[in-house]
Structures are given as C-alpha cells and as structure tokens.
Structure 1
Amino acid sequence: VWDTVVPTLHTDFTWYLTVYNVNRAPVIDSYEPDRYWNVNESQDGSVLFTVSASDQDDDTLSYTWYVNSQYVSGTGDSYLLEF
C-alpha cells in the first residue's frame, strides 16, 4: 500500500497462499477390449467397448465415444459397435 503524503509512507505485506483442494484428473482403471483386433469387413457381429474409471474428487464422470474419429451416440461407460 502506498500513499501520496510527503514523506512517503508505505507498508509491505507478504502473502502466503496454500491450496488444499486441487482438482485431480479422472483415472481409467480398466477397459475392454484390451488390445488391437482386426475384423473382416464381410463378417457380421459386434464388439462391446467398456471402460471403468474413477475420480478421486467424486466428480460425476461423462463419456464420449468416437469410431474412426467420428462421434457416435453412445452414452455411459460402454458402447456396442455393430458391423
């Protein structure tokens, strides 16, 4: 804090800030399928993708699914890919 009085009077303060609650990123605990796989285009079938995740801050998790970089309308922690 400074003033305009002559002689100039001033006071210095040192502030210490401690942050106790920092948002931590969610953690993927497991997922399936757990490896790469190949599918013949003429094959009929499906693959179920699942993920198990947790948040140390107990925040609500949301999931977004993409197939070949395109958004697909899956919700929740699983997505069924049919071909």
Structure 2
Amino acid sequence: MFWLYILFSEKCKKFYVGYSVDVDARLLRHNSGMVNATKNCRPYIFKAKKTFPSQKEAMQEESRIKNKKSSKYIQWLIEGNW
C-alpha cells in the first residue's frame, strides 16, 4: 500500500505533495532537512493523506495534483473533496 500525502509549511505558506510507503518516516525526513525540495521551509505538517493500492496509482495522482500548479486546488482537496 502506498500513501499520497499533502504537507504544509506555515513558515513559507507552501504545500508539498509526495508519496511513500511509510508517511510518518517520510515526514521525519522532510522535517530533519534530508529532502532538498523541502529543507528551506521546515517544519511541515500533514494536511491530508490517502492510500493507494499501488505505487503507479499513487504516482499518477501525485502527478495530476502537481500538474494543476494550484494551491487553491490543493486546499479544495484538503477540505474534503479528495
């Protein structure tokens, strides 16, 4: 099972979308500065997470969300539309 997750940085007011098998361990990596894409905006908190049966499906959904390039769309998902 794979998780797709949405993180939020209060410091930078930015969302980050990713996928992982172990979302709790992945959040620790983000918040410890081990992920280049997120190290400057730490700390992050979970805003949403959803399971997918395969890595392929999680990656497809991640790509779909990222291609929107819209924080308003991500906020809409978080508010229960996902």
Give the TM-score normalised by structure 2. 0.22
More helix by share: 2
Which structure would you say has the larger Rg? Answer: 1
- Higher RCO (CA < 8 A, seq sep 6+): 2
